[in-house]
Amino acid sequence: MQDSSSPNSVWQAELLNLLRGASGGFLFGLPLLYTVEVWWIGSSTTPAWMLLSLGITFFVIYLLNQSEGFRSSLDIQLIDALMETVEAMAIGIVCALLALILLCRITLDTPLNEALGKLVLECIPFSIGVALARSTLRGDRVPRTVKKTRRLPKNSIFQALIADLDATLIGALIVAFSIAPTDEVSLLSASISPLWLLLIIVASVIISYCIVFVAGLTNQKERRQQQGLLQRPINETLICYLVCLLASALMLWFFQQLSWDDPWQEWLSETIILGLPATIGGAAGRLVI
Amino acid sequence: MSESPNQSQTETTAESPKQRNWAEWMTFIASSSILLTLIGLIIYDWLLTQQSPPILEVHPQGVVEIRQEQFYQPFLIKNVGGNFAESVQIVASLTINSPEDMEVGEQQISFLAAGEQKSGYFIFTHDPREGELTMRVASYR
């Protein structure tokens, strides 16, 4: 076991804090990314408005950091809150930039002012998500009684798996149900290449893993100790991702965004694109429900 | 990844205020750099971008493609002005022999930011290379 003050341990703890912040950012910020009006408003925003938006966001994050934050520390001295505000905004900016690149909203052809406008507007919910990471990813504010009732002695492996799938489905529905009927999914699908779809799959799995097994505060250890082949972190992440993809396809079919006459490529790309917010919702569901 | 050091660290830090360690200082320095870079880029954009109205240019681009006996004429539209344009309408007309024998196509681009360019196709039943093709931006909002 490493000493908690050793360089590796210090970096490990800090990396954990940053991943927790990023997970909170994706959880809060990604749904707003699936809004075409936000892309347009971002594209038409003037530099003065961008600076004003950043200033207002900084103030809001600072207020949130008085009681919240992405670090596990509850230290809320003035200087710490200010420094954590800078960090939360930087994490929000990086996450928003990655998400915008992932969904091809910022490419090498995007003019600078358009890219900056989109980034500034999208980094607001991401930064708020970072600032709320500690409380949202804590999993609970009260002792987990529900979790205990799930883990009955008989067939506990299957019951834990079914409970996880249940929570994944509920979380995926909460986040993706409001995105599925919109035109944004087909708009994104039309502009994203197969290679980019592979990147979205990889990003979905990594973000989901980070939210549940890296960023979660309270039940992370408990989750890692769950028995059974299907309950291992990577297996659970992959199974829940497949469930989210299935749920995404069904939601798109339910809202008549996809029909049986559509080519399979359209089913695949739209399902993967909706699968990203669904997976993040599913991961949050497993933490919270 | 071993969990115990992280868990113990997070638990202890949750209990009492502590000094920032060097990893946290590095995070703060990197974060400040990211935020300052973004602010710097916005100011750079503010100073250098000419805040002129949209100026829209459209012209044929590339070679005509023939697909199932129809002629696909690619085009490129670019906003070289300093402001965005919405609902940009492009009209293309192809005159083959006489003004009566004319094909007209329309396109609507929902949004074009300053400096942005978009491409698309007009589809004609006659070969645009054998007639007179004109393209123009009719309106924007």
| A208-220: pLDDT as tens digits | 888 888 776 555 5
CB proximity B120 to A under 8 Å: no
Residue in A84, A251, A9, A192 with CA at minimum distance from that of residue B6: A9
Instruction: Please count the other Cβ atoms lying within 10 Å of the Cβ belonging to residue B101.
Output: 11
pLDDT at A225: 61
Verify that B134 and B79 share a domain, yes or no: yes
> What whole-number distance in Å separates Cα of residue A11 and Cα of residue A164?
31
Query: Chain A: residue nearest B13 by CA?
Result: A73
Give the pLDDT confidence score for residue A125 in this predicted structure: 92
pLDDT at B6: 45
Which residues fall within 8 angstroms of residue A52, CB to CB, at 6 or more apart? none
Q: In sequence order, what are the residues at sequence separation of 6 or more whose Cβ sits closer than 8 angstroms to the Cβ of residue A138?
A: A216, A217, A218
Nearest CA in chain B to A112: B45
- Going residue by residue through chain B (141 aa), what tens digit of pLDDT does each one get? 344 444 444 444 444 556 778 888 899 999 999 999 999 999 988 887 766 788 999 999 888 899 988 999 999 999 888 778 888 999 999 988 777 778 899 999 888 887 888 889 999 998 888 888 899 999 998
Q: Do B63 and B26 fall within a single domain? A: no
- Tell me which DSSP letter residue A231 carries: G
Cβ–Cβ < 8 Å for B111, B84: yes
Give the closest of A86, A111, A224 to B35, CB-based.
Answer: A86
Question: Between A254 and B112, whose confidence is greater?
Answer: A254
Closest CA to A44 of A113, A93, A109: A113
CA atoms of A283 and A174, how far apart (whole Å): 12
For B23, which of A11, A83, A93 is closest by C-beta distance?
A11
Counting the structural domains of chain B, the total is 2
Q: Are residues B44 and B102 in the same domain?
A: no
**Residue A73, φ and ψ in degrees, nearest 5:** -70, 145
The domain that contains B106 carries what CATH number? 2.60.40.10
Chain B, residues 16-35, CB within 8 A of chain A, namely 17-18, 20-24, 26-28, 30-32, 34-35
Q: Which two tokens stand for residue A66?
A: 């008085």
Residue B108 structural domain: 56-139
Same domain assignment for residues B70 and B42: no
**What is the distance, to the nearest Å, from the Cα of residue B35 to the centroid of all Cα atoms in its chain?**
24
Report the share of chain A in percent with pLDDT over 70: 82
Query: Is residue B42 domain-shared with residue B84, that is, in the same domain?
Result: no
3-class SS letters over A107-170: CCCCCHHHHHHHHHHHHHHHHHHHHCHHHHCCCCCCCCHHHHHHCCCCCHHHHHHHHHHHHHHH
CB contact under 8 A, A12 and B12: no
Q: Is the pLDDT of residue A253 over 50?
A: yes
B133 and B88, same structural domain?
Answer: yes
| CB-CB neighbors (< 8 A) of A73 in chain B | 13-14, 17-18
| Predicted pLDDT at A123 | 93
* B33 in the same domain as B82: no
Last residue of a domain, one of B12, B32, B48: B48
Q: Do residues B44 and B80 both lie within one domain?
A: no
Q: Which chain A residue has the Cα nearest residue B1?
A: A12
What's the token pair of residue B43? 């100011």
Choice between A225 and A282, residue whose per-residue pLDDT is larger: A282
**Closest-CA residue of chain B to A221:** B3
Is residue A146 scored above 70 in pLDDT? no
Q: Which of B16, B33, B34 to mutate to test the interface with A (most CBs of A within 10 A)?
A: B34
Q: Which residues pair with B74 in a beta bridge?
A: B121
Which member of B5, B8, B116 has the closest CB to residue A114?
Answer: B116
Rounded CA separation A58/A89 (Å): 7
Give the number of other Cβ atoms within 10 Å of residue A150's Cβ. 15
Q: Are B41 and B67 within one domain? A: no
Same domain flag for B94 and B32 = no
The secondary structure of A32-45, three-state, reads HHCCHHHHHHHHCC
Statement to judge: residues B67 and B113 lie in one domain: yes
User: What are the boundaries of each domain within chain A?
Assistant: 1-137, 141-289
Which residues in A lie closer than 8 A to residue B43 (C-beta atoms)? Answer: 47, 51
Using CA atoms, how far apart are residues A33 and B138, in angstroms rounded to an integer? 32
